Amino acid sequence: MMSMTVLVLVCIWHAIIPQIAADWGLPLAHTADIVVLSVLGSIFIVIHVIFALWITTRVRTITLPRYA
């Protein structure tokens, strides 16, 4: 679900960036595009790292035998 959210944000950003380029110029649009790419890419990676850690801990607690 979070990957789809990031994908939607990327699509929205690509709809907005041409307007920024038209209104404020190409250099600002290029800089803004790099910043947003970095932010969304970082969010995407962090979400997947958290998900991998969650799955790893969840699988370990399910598969480890419990001694009472």
Q: Which runs of consecutive H residues, i.e. helices, occur in 1-68?
A: 2-24, 26-63
Cβ–Cβ under 8 Å, residues 43 and 36: no
Domain ranges of the chain: 2-63
Give the pTM: 0.72
pLDDT confidence bin for 68, thresholds 50/70/90? low
pLDDT of residue 61: 67
Distance CA 31, CA 43 (A): 18
User: DSSP letter at 65?
Assistant: -
pLDDT of residue 35: 95
Distance CA 16, CA 62 (A): 45
Q: Is the pLDDT of residue 67 over 70?
A: no
Tens of pLDDT along 10-54? 999 999 999 999 999 999 999 999 999 999 999 999 999 999 999
Q: Is the pLDDT of residue 65 over 70?
A: no
